[in-house]
Amino acid sequence: MTKRGSMTDRPDRREFLMKLGIGAGVAGIATQGAASLRSLVPNVSYDAPTTVKLGSPMEFPDGLKFLPDQRLFVFREGNVFHAVSAVCTHLGCTVRAEALSQPETRQVAGTPLRLTHRFLCPCHGSSYAGDGSNVSGPAPRPLTWYQLSVSTDDGQLVVDLAQEVGRDFRLTVA
Amino acid sequence: MSARSAPGVHEKRLWSLRPRSDREAGDAVVSNFLLHWFPAKVFKPSLDWSYSFWLGTISAALFLLLCLSGFPLLFLYIPSVERAYASVKDIEYVITFGSWIRAVHRLSAHLMVAAVVLHLVRVFLTGAYKNGVGRGQQREWNWVIGVGMLLLTLFLSFTGYLLPWDQLAYWAVTVGTNIASSIPWIGARIRELLIGGRTIEQPTLIRFYALHVIVLPAALGALFVYHMWRVRKDGGLARADRAALLPEKAETPPARSKTYTLLGVARGTAPAIRATSLEAPDLSVNAVPDLTRRATVSVLGTIAVISILASLLRSPLEEAANPLVTPNPAKAPWYFLWLQEIVTDTTLHVGRFTINGAFLGGVVLPGLLIALLTVWPWLDTSPQGAAGSWFARSRRRQNLVFLLMCLVVVVFTLVGTFCRGPYWHFYWPWQTWPEIPTRI
């Protein structure tokens, strides 16, 4: 007989096999859990596209138009356009526009801008000036400005909701 | 001795409402499945209405009612963004007893939040998370389980009021998940996981539905069972530990207690009478019927109150979810209004640096509050004797701190409920709100 002996003589081997078994069990359950969790993270987005055609620029009224589907304010002054998001930067409610009794023109980011409205949030009381800058309440940032362009195929106004722009952005439609 | 009357064998199929002997009372507990989680004997003062107010039992009864009323709703509700609102409307206006069942479910949910919070307050103020004289007690861990159950109760309520897919639901999901997304670095990913995409749509509803009808109730049920088991392992309510502090029966030194002659008094030869102190009264009673009777009264009382309230109060249903218009003001249910108030007030501007109130007030502060509650038993260094008594002198300072925190929450809740109007502006309750067009 060799020294190897029976299993009871080798507690280290028993111990090792037991740990191996427990480890395999834990690893199996952990993998199941991780796989279940990962399956809930979407791989494909069925969200609405971020580039949206808004219609002919000439159909927009002078001043402000609210587009509820895009949660967007589109401003027109003659043939100059810009767009400001209506999504409050605090917790994402839709702000409401309130017309100012006395519109004023102010320098915003180095360019003059006619401020006709202010924006108020119904959820936590943030307020914004007409250029989207946060004035009071919990809003941490100004409202986002989005890029506007003119579609090359049919001349419609197009907003890109994934493209933030500075507050000096203006689109001039010829 | 016949087999039927052997020890541990109870003759009746259920239990004896009026056991004829201690033996019969004990056997009922040992041999009956429904009673096996009760002890055979309980410390009578633990059963006092004015000690625990039976708030834990009431919370459990409300959970039972929520499960019972949830089953028919499970068959009637359709978790689809197109049809959820209409199916709830059907439940409310078309289905026989539908509005009553929905009212039972809704009222039980509201009262359960209240009962669970009050239960936590009671346990704190009586120092019931403290270990007493029993060996192997781990009451502090049962407190931690309890805090977990409170969070589950709140999350169940949150997921519940989303399901009708009305305006309250839609904007609550918007705000709630944006609080999650305010966490630096990982926030956006957490929000995407919660709502199953980047916009609130069908995947959002089905996720919250699955959480509400199976994941969260199962988790709460499991914790509830463990909570009850721990109460038994820890020797019952903390008050039961006070039984050990009662005076033992002891012999008092002989005293000259009676005189028969004046002379005897003068000479000190009056007969002395040996006496013992009053024996510590035996304060333990049989669980059947003393405990079962009160538990039954608590549960049936809760069911009666909810049933009556549900036939008197209608459940509100706001307009169908409209992603285009945020209601003004948009208010959370009462138990979240203090949080809504906090996220309003905590945006900090330090120089050019801004901390969003959504993160500070919606994540950091509540997180700290929960962490503080969780570790409190380990911070509490008051003596053992403070366990299980209301407003113990040795815990006065921490009780005051706790009550102050409760007061802040209550004040914020009241401000949110009565003093916030359109655009979340402050109005006194007697001030009228200005007329504001519903659409711009």
Residues A65 and A12 in one domain: no
Q: Indicate the SS3 state at residue A114.
A: strand
Strands of the A134-136 sheet, one edge to the other: A96-108, A111-120, A127-128, A134-136
Which carries the bigger pLDDT value, residue B323 or residue A18? A18
> Are A26 and A63 found together in one domain?
no
Residues A26 and A73 in one domain: no
pLDDT of the residue at B220: 98
Average pLDDT in the B35-49 region?
Answer: 88
**The pLDDT of residue B258:** 55
Q: Which residues in A lie closer than 8 A to residue B203 (C-beta atoms)?
A: 42
Question: B176 burial class (0-12, 13-18, 19+ CB within 10 angstroms)?
Answer: buried
**Do residues A90 and A153 both lie within one domain?**
yes
Closest residue of chain B to A136, computed from CA coordinates: B347
pLDDT of A103 above 50:
yes
Q: Is A91 on the interface with B (CB under 8 A)?
A: yes
Query: Is 70 exceeded by the pLDDT of residue B230?
Result: yes
- B347 contacts A137? CB cut-off 8 A: yes
pLDDT at B272: 56
Q: Check residue B28 and give its pLDDT.
A: 79
Looking at the complex, report in whole angstroms how far the Cα of residue A125 sits from the nearest Cα belonging to chain B: 5
Mean pLDDT across B247-274? 57
B224 has pLDDT over 90: yes
Q: Is B295 or B33 the better-scoring residue by pLDDT? A: B295
Predicted confidence at residue B156, as pLDDT, reads 96
Distance CA A103, CA A118 (A): 10
Q: Please give the backbone phi and psi of residue B42, each rounded to the nearest 5 degrees, phi first.
A: -130, 155
Chain B CB contacts of A139 under 8 Å are 347
Would residue A1 count as lying in a domain?
Answer: no
> Which residues in chain B are closer than 8 Å to A123, comparing Cβ atoms?
171, 175, 326, 329-330, 340, 424
Determine the average pLDDT of the residues in B20-49.
84
CATH of residue A152: 2.102.10.10
Domain holding A21, by residue range, is 7-39
- CB-nearest to B424 from A41, A48, A123 is A123
CB-CB neighbors (< 8 A) of B192 in chain A: 41-42
Q: Which of A4-13, A17-26, A159-168, B354-363 has the lowest mean pLDDT?
A: A4-13
For B168, the closest chain A residue by CA position comes to: A123
ipTM of the complex: 0.84
Name the B residues in 252-291 with CB < 8 Å from any A CB: none
Mean pLDDT of A117-146: 90
Residues A26 and A109 in one domain: no
Position B104 confidence tier, pLDDT thresholds 50, 70, 90: very high
Question: What mean pLDDT value characterizes chain B?
Answer: 87
Q: How far is A141 from chain B (nearest CA, A)?
A: 8
Mean pLDDT of B114-142: 93
**Banded model confidence at residue A49, pLDDT cuts 50, 70, 90:** confident
| Residue numbers in B near A94 (CB within 8 A) | 324-326
Task: Specify if A62 maps to a domain.
Answer: yes
Domain-embedded: residue A2:
no
For residue A97, list chain B residues with Cβ-Cβ distance below 8 A: 440
DSSP string of A60-112, one letter each residue: SPSEEEEETTTTEEEEEETTEEEEEE-B-TTT-PBPEEEEEEEEEEEEETTEE
Chain-chain contact of B357 with A90 (C-beta, under 8 angstroms):
yes
Same structural domain, A115 and A143: yes
State pLDDT tens for residues A111-126. 888 888 999 988 888 9
Q: What integer pLDDT is reported at residue B2 of this predicted model?
A: 47
Give domain B29-241+289-424's CATH architecture: Up-down Bundle (1.20)
**B423 near A CB under 8 A:** yes
The answer to whether residue A4 scores a pLDDT higher than 90 is: no
Chain A 28-87, residues with CB within 8 Å of chain B CB atoms = 40-42, 45-48, 66, 68-69, 71
Number of domains in chain A: 2
**Which segment of A85-89, B30-34, B247-251, B404-408 scores lowest on mean pLDDT?**
B247-251
pLDDT over 70 percentage in chain B: 88
A32 and A66 in a single domain? The answer is no
Q: Which of B175, B192, B330 sits opposite A42 (nearest CB)?
A: B192
- Can you tell me the distance from the alpha carbon of B424 to that of B329, in angstroms, rounded to the nearest whole number? 6
Q: Is A122 within 8 Å of B422 when comparing Cβ atoms? A: yes
| pLDDT score at B198 | 84
Higher pLDDT: B126 or A8? It is B126
Residue A14's region, left for phi above 0, alpha for psi from -120 to 50, else beta, is alpha
- Cβ distance of B356 and A138 shorter than 8 Å: yes
At residue B254, the pLDDT reads: 57
Domain identity same for A65 and A129: yes
What average pLDDT does range A45-72 have in this prediction? 87
Calculate the alpha carbon distances from A163 to A67, A83, A144, A146, A151 in Å: 17, 11, 10, 6, 16
Q: Residues A33, A60: one domain?
A: no
Q: What percent of chain A is predicted at pLDDT more than 70? A: 95
Residue A122 counted as domain residue = yes
